[in-house]
Amino acid sequence: MSDNKKWYSLDLGLNNKKESSGTCGCGKTEGSCNSSPKEEELSADEFYEAAINASIGEERHRDGFEQVFDVKMDRRSAFKKLTASLLIGAGAVTTSCSVTTGSDTKEKAQIDWEEQFKGNYKLMTDEEKQGTINRLMRSYELRTHKKINMTAENAAEDVLFGYAFNISKCQGYMNCVSACVEENNQDRNSEMQYIRIHEMKDGEGFKFNKADDNYYHEVPAEGHFYMGTQCFHCDNPPCVEVCPVQATWKEEDGLVVIDYDWCVGCRYCMAACPYDGRRFNWSKPEVPEQEVNKNQHYLGNRMRKKGVMEKCTFCVQRTRKGKNPACVEACPTGARIFGNLLDPDSTIRWVLENKKVFRLKEDLGTEPKFWYFMD
Amino acid sequence: MGTFKVFKSLVIDSLDTITKGSKRYHLWMGFLTLVMLIGMYCYSIQLEEGLSATGMSDRVSWGLYISNFTFLVGVAAAAVMLVMPTYVLKDLDFKQAVLIGEGLAVAALIMCLAFVVADMGEPSVLWHMIPGIGVFNFPNSMLTWDVIVLNGYLFINISIPFYILFKHYQNKEAKKSVYVPGAILSVFWAVGIHLVTAFLYQGLQARPFWNNALLGPRFLASAFAAGPSLIILILAIIRSFTAFKIEDKTIKKIAMIVTVAAQINLIMLISELFKEFYAPTHHSESAYYLFFGLHGKNALLPWIWTAIPLNVLATVLLTFNKLRNNLKVLYFCCFILFVAIWIEKGFGLIVPGFIPGPYGKIVEYLPTGVEIGVTIGIWALGAFVFTILAKTAIGIELGELYYKDKNTST
Ligand code: SF4
Ligand code: SF4
């Protein structure tokens, strides 16, 4: 990012094709938008640098468990843990007091204790990440006698995920919504849904305030068109800025994620999100055991608890394994396109370069990585 | 060691004072305890069921708790309006009022913190927010600023009166060089807590109703009207129930502060209304909802149309010297002003921020019984804390409570 910008803009590495794709938010000439204008193609490493600088800037240098958290960990003596727990940590006690017998109970209590006082996932080393997912898997096994498979893959290099939505194609079937609910183990009681499909009247344009996002009639309804919203994984996400405990952050592949165990449930991020992207667990989320999706990722669809924030993660458990998000796969009309923005051969890049794309509320400077277009 | 002994004796003596008192006093404290217990019961329901026990939802994600929090920050900040003249400008008139004011600030801050904790979805991991053991997103998140300034302010407002009372308890004069710098600091700090709390909302580009440069200054003006109003009412009560002497002059001076602040507040209100309604844009929808309702949804109308007339009436009455100097009218004005600002800066500020939602969806908010129970319980907690603080302070100031050194030989 060049220094003399007055506002934030998304650096996709689309340097050469900015005009045609219309995705550059900076509105400046080609050259000044570029992090290193002389080169036609950035080398992988340089791009990686530039993308990260653009996204987290200085903060990166302070990141990592060693740099920030270890220091704090030293001071986090057992005594302090104990005090904190006595003051406010009733949770661990209640959960570890469940009545079963023998060593299982002890192990469960041990896991609960360690889980209650583990650090922020964002700042963990890979071993620590592995440690916590092992504990979570074991804990699930102890509780339900069923096994789950949880991973903690980190972001791959040279990947920046983006999404495009074809308004002409969407017919409002909502297969994406139900696929998302099943894939991501969302609370069935409150019928939590990350995706909202807005039904709008033809000829009125994008009148969101007149749209119906909760319809139960047959679709496509005569004289209507449809568009979906969800978390847009903003490149400059206001929700991340405001979180008092860094429980939510942007990963290097552009996904905005939440550590459900670190969130304190203040809902400040919810107030800060201009796109209605976040969902809160107002009560204990429940998923019938046989419906639980057992392929989980720590930052994605693992089971949540009550009182914490969650939202669309672009199905991190699938996309980091090279698959498409569940909504993309489920859509019968092909209205949803997902891919790596840094891969010049990807479909999403083709769409950005060849279609007239736009984003919602661009004036807010949030730089969503979610584009709309029409055939 | 000596200091420690004095401290121990102070604790014992004040425990003694707060457990003894007239029948009325016991009734009052018993009543507050009962309300607090009900509040705790409601909170236990909320802990058990989660925040679904409240009226909040994904669409309106902050409600009664955060409203009260916002308002009480203002009340706490207003104590400074009494601190400044007494300590800094050496206006002796205010001397008695100031201890009460600072006690009020402490009680208000305790209520603020209680409201924030009550609003948390996952209070068992609140330690994540403690700097040093958790991860503190400073300076990016305004909420971390708020945590710092509120706790700092609490510390200042506990330590200054404590120092003064501790000295008076031993029948010594409090040293000016010790408390005056603290008092000056607290003056700036008070403005800080209120501005930072306003910035909490003001900084959200997602919510046009809050994202408005006037929000911070208006917070200050309304706080400096509502806070001293409450102090006047409390002084009036203390005057009639205890031997503590408070001059008419003091009350009248505070009334002056209330008046000026209320006038400024009204001017800012007019400016805001002009902006929202002269050339309404999409961003004025929240204001429309608040004042007139949108698409037949009008839950806030009765509230705001109570608040605005009360606010105007109080401001007008206070503006006339004759009326203001009549204590009965003054008390009445203070009361309605307090209520008006509580509505306006609480409910009337927080809820419309979420309505309509980011995509224009209108979902209304009504607090549930549990939520109201917790809220009233926290107010009772505040009153309880304040009564204890005030009773001790008054005891010491009246000389009923002093250090009896058993081995005074020299
Ligand atoms: S859409 Fe909302 S929740 Fe998603 S990244 Fe942007 S601000 Fe955050
Ligand atoms: S609700 Fe959780 S993720 Fe959101 S701001 Fe609060 S702590 Fe952070």
Terminal C-alpha separation, chain B? 17
Mean pLDDT across B364-373? 94
Amino acid at B1: M
Q: Give me the domains of chain B, ranges plus CATH numbers.
A: 2-399 (1.20.1630.10)
Mean pLDDT across B355-380? 93
Q: Assign B245 to helix, strand or coil.
A: coil
Query: Band of the pLDDT at B63, cuts 50, 70, 90?
Result: very high
Which residues contact residue B174 at a Cβ distance below 8 angstroms, ignoring those fewer than 6 apart? B163, B164, B167, B168
| Rounded distance from Cα B171 to ligand 2 centre (Å) | 50
Contact list, B147 vs chain A (CB under 8 Å): 244
B356–A contact, CB cutoff 8 A: yes
Q: How far is B58 from chain A (nearest CA, A)?
A: 6
What pLDDT score does B87 carry? 63
Range among A4-18, A49-63, A64-78, A246-260 with highest mean pLDDT value: A246-260
Q: Ligand 2 pocket, A219 CB below 6 A?
A: no
Q: Which residue of A has its CA nearest to B135?
A: A245
Nearest to B31 by CA among B384, B382, B371, B375: B384
Contact list, A364 vs chain B (CB under 8 Å): 205-206
Domain definitions of chain A by residue range:
32-117, 161-373
What pLDDT score does A350 carry? 95
Q: What residues does ligand 1 touch, defined as CB less than 6 Å away?
A: A 231-234, 237-239, 256, 273, 275, 277-278, 311, 366
Half-sphere exposure of A185 (CA within 13 A, CB side): 24
pTM: 0.85
Query: Band of the pLDDT at A50, cuts 50, 70, 90?
Result: low
pLDDT tens across A339-356, in order? 999 999 999 999 999 999
Give A 186-215 residues with CB within 8 A of chain B. Answer: 190, 196, 198, 207-211, 213
More confident residue, B369 or A3: B369
CB contact (8 A) between residue B205 and residue A213: no
Which residues contact residue B391 at a Cβ distance below 8 angstroms, ignoring those fewer than 6 apart? B17, B18, B21, B25
| Rounded distance from Cα A237 to ligand 1 centre (Å) | 6
Nearest to B197 by CA among B153, B157, B254: B153
More confident residue, A29 or B209: B209
Nearest to A152 by CA among A299, A268, A314, A29: A299
Average pLDDT across chain A, whole number: 81
- Ligand sitting nearest the alpha carbon of A370: 1
What pLDDT score does A30 carry? 41
Length of chain A: 375
Contact list, B116 vs chain A (CB under 8 Å): 266
Atom of ligand 2 nearest to the CA of A268: 5
What pLDDT score does B1 carry? 58
What pLDDT score does B210 carry? 94
CA atoms of B299 and A118, how far apart (whole Å): 44
Query: Band of the pLDDT at A127, cuts 50, 70, 90?
Result: very high
Read off φ and ψ for residue B273, nearest 5 degrees.
-65, -40
Structure tokens at A324: 């498409």
| Orientation of helix A102-116 relative to helix A126-144, angle to 10° | 140
Contact list, B125 vs chain A (CB under 8 Å): 88-89, 91, 116, 261-264
Q: How far is A95 from chain B (nearest CA, A)?
A: 11
A131–B contact, CB cutoff 8 A: no
Question: Tokens 């916002």 sit at which residue?
Answer: B70
Nearest to A245 among B129, B200, B206 (CB): B129
Nearest to B15 by CA among B406, B341, B308, B392: B392
What is the CB neighbour count within 10 angstroms for residue A198? 24
What pLDDT score does B393 carry? 87
Give B 24-83 residues with CB within 8 A of chain A. Answer: 49-52, 56-58, 61-62
Length of chain B: 410
CB contact (8 A) between residue A280 and residue B61: yes
Atom of ligand 1 nearest to the CA of A276: 2
CA atoms of B173 and A176, how far apart (whole Å): 74
Q: Are the beta carbons of A164 and A371 closer than 8 angstroms?
A: yes
CA atoms of B395 and A325, how far apart (whole Å): 69
What pLDDT score does B21 carry? 82
Q: How far is CA A266 from the centre of its chain?
A: 18
Q: How far is CA A140 from the centre of its chain?
A: 23
What pLDDT score does A26 carry? 42
Helix (H), strand (E), coil (C) string for chain A: CCCCCCCCCCCCCCHHHHHHHCCCCCCCCCHHHCCCCCCCCCCHHHHHHHHHHHHCCCHHHHCCHHHHHHHHHHHCCHHHHHHHHHHHCHHHHHHHCCCCCHHHHHHHHHHHHHHHCCCCHHHCCHHHHHHHHHHHHHHHHHHHCCCCEEECCCCCCCCCEEEEEECCCCCCCCHHHHHHHHHCCCCCCCCCCCCEEEEEECCCCCCHHHCECCCCCCCCCCCEEEEEECCCCCCCCHHHHHCCCCCEEECCCCCEEECCCCCCCCCHHHHHCCCCCEEECCCCCCCCHHHCCCEEECCCCCCCCCCCEEECCCCHHHHCCCCCCHHHHHCCCCCEEEEECCCCCCHHHHHHHHCCCECCCHHHCCCCCEEEECC
Given a cut of 80, is residue B79 above it in pLDDT?
Answer: no
- Structural element, H or E, at residue B161: helix B142-169
Q: Which residue of A has its CA nearest to B65?
A: A266
| Rounded distance from Cα A246 to ligand 1 centre (Å) | 14
Query: Band of the pLDDT at A22, cuts 50, 70, 90?
Result: very low
Mean pLDDT across B82-86? 70
Q: What is the dihedral of CA A265, A271, A274, A277, to 10 degrees?
A: 30
CB contact (8 A) between residue A262 and residue B125: yes
Burial A236-268 (b: 16+ CB within 10 A, else e): bbbbbbbbbbbbbbbbbbbbbbbbbbbbbbbbb
Give A 290-349 residues with CB within 8 A of chain B. Answer: 305-309
Range among A16-20, A39-43, A98-102, B38-42 with highest mean pLDDT value: B38-42
- Ligand sitting nearest the alpha carbon of B116: 2
pLDDT tens across B1-43, in order? 578 888 888 888 888 888 888 898 999 999 999 999 999 999 9
Mean pLDDT across B389-410? 75
Which residue(s) pair with A163 in the sheet? A338, A370
pLDDT tens across B298-319, in order? 889 999 999 999 999 999 999 9
Task: Identify the DSSP state of B409.
Answer: -
Question: Tokens 């109308």 sit at which residue?
Answer: B301
pLDDT tens across A271-312, in order? 999 999 999 999 999 999 999 999 999 999 999 999 999 999
Dihedral sign computed on CA atoms, order A52, A55, A61, A65: negative
In chain A, what percentage of residues exceed pLDDT 90?
A: 62
| Rounded distance from Cα B169 to ligand 1 centre (Å) | 56
pLDDT tens across A136-157, in order? 999 999 988 999 999 999 999 9
CATH code for the domain defined by A161-373? 3.30.70.20
Q: Identify which of A231, A262, A264, A310 to mutate to test ligand 2's pocket (most ligand atoms within 8 A of the CB).
A: A264
